[in-house]
Amino acid sequence: MDPNIATAKTLSTEFYLSRDYYEASKEKIFSKTWQLVGDREQIKENGWVTPVNMLEHMINEPLILSRDQNGEVHCLSNVCTHRGNLMVEQPCKLNDIRCKYHGRRFQLDGKFMSMPEFKEVENFPTEDDNLSALPLYTWGQWLFTSLNPLEPASAFLDFMMKRVGWMDFDKFHFRPDLSKDYLVTSSWALYCENYLEGFHIPFVHAGLNAAIDYSNYTIELSKYSSLQLGIAKEGELTFDLPKGSPDYGKNVAGYYFWVFPNLMFNFYPWGLSVNIVSPMDVDKCKVSFRSYVYDESKLRQGAGSNLHKVEMEDEDIVQNVQKGIRSRFYKHGRYSVKQEKGTHHFHCLISEFMNAQ
C-alpha cells in the first residue's frame, strides 16, 4: 500500500475474493489483535463461569470467562488438558471446573487440581496440565483478549478510552432486546471499510444525514484505531459534554470509533452500540450489534435513533460491492483525500499485517 493517500490505490480485489488471503488473515491479522469476548455482567458474581467462542466461524477458539472466589477475572482455554474435551457448556456457578469426560479438575484461575487414576504417572502434574490462560484486558464493562498479541490492548484502545473517559460506564446496561445479529453476504473487510468513511452518508443514509452536519463531519486517525466525529444539525440531540472533554463546546451527535481489525464502538447520548464484524467465509460475515443503554429517555432520537434502518442501507451497498468486485474490469480504486482517510488507514494496516513475517 502507498502510504500517501493522494497517490494510493485501494487493495487489490484479490484480498476480498481469495481463500488463500482469507485463511492467511486468521493468523496474520486476527490472532495478533484484540477481540471483544464479553462483559462483566456475564461473570458478575464470584464463582461464575461463562463459555465463549472467539470468532466462532473463523478462529473458532473455545474459551472460558471466569471469576474466582477472590473476585479475579480470567480468560482460559475451555479445552481439558487430558484429552481435549470441551468442559463448560453453559453459564453456571462453580467451585471449580470439572471435566465430565474423566474427572480432571481445575481451579477457576485454570490451575490443575486433581485427576483420578494418575498416581503412577511420572513427572505429573506440570505447567502443561494447567488450562492455558489468555491475556485479559478490561475497559469499563468490556472484556478483551488476544491469542498472540502483537502489542498490548492499550495500543488499540487508548485513543478511544481517553476521548470518552468522562463517561460513567458503570451505568451502561446491556439490552438484549435492542441487540441483534445480521448475516451479510460480503467480505468482513468490505463491511469495515464502508463503516470507515462518512463519504456515502448523503447518498445512502437519508435519515442519518438529516440528523448530522455532514459539512463538519471529521475523521481522526490513531495507530490501530480511528474516530469519525458526527456533529449534530441545529435542534438535534447532542451529548451534554463536561468541560473536561476534548470536544467541549461542540454539538456532538455521535462518536464512531473503529478498532483494528473488526470492532466498532458507536457512542450516542442514549448509550453505546458495539458492532462486532465476525468473518464467516471469504464472502460472508456476521455483524453483531450489542446495545448498552445509559439514558433510556434519549432512545430513538438523533443520530442513533434507527440503527436497524442504517444497517439495512449499509448491507445493501456492501453486498452489491461484493458482487461488483468480481468483475474482470475492476481491480483497484482511488481515495478521496478528505473523506476516505479511515479506509486508506485500514488498508495500510491490512497490508502491514499481511506482509509481516
Same domain, 208 and 318: yes
Q: What is the CATH number of the domain that holds 74?
A: 2.102.10.10
Same domain, 126 and 226: no
Residue 234 carries which DSSP code? Answer: T
Same domain, 284 and 310: yes
Mean pLDDT in order along the chain per 10 residues (357 residues): 97 97 98 97 96 96 97 98 98 97 98 97 97 97 97 98 95 96 98 93 88 91 97 93 95 97 97 98 98 95 91 95 96 95 98 94
pLDDT of residue 198: 87
Q: How many CA atoms lie within 13 A of 250 on its CB side?
A: 18
In the chain, the amino acid numbered 47 is G
Q: What is the CATH number of the domain that holds 243?
A: 3.90.380.10
Range of the domain at 231: 158-355
pLDDT of residue 206: 87
Any residues with CB less than 8 A from the CB of 215 and at least 6 apart, and which? Answer: none
Domain assignment present for residue 339? The answer is yes
Same domain, 141 and 175: no
In the chain, the amino acid numbered 166 is W
Same domain, 56 and 203: no
Q: Domain ends where: 145, 180, 197?
A: 145
Ramachandran angles phi, psi of 91, nearest 5°: -60, 135
Q: What is the DSSP string of 297-351?
A: GGTT-GGGS-HHHHHHHHHHHHHHHHHHTTSTT-S--B--TTT-HHHHHHHHHHH
Same domain, 113 and 177: no
Residue 39 is placed in which grid cell? 462483559
| 253-287 pLDDT, tens digit each | 999 999 999 999 999 999 999 999 999 999 999 99
Same domain, 298 and 232: yes
Same domain, 117 and 170: no
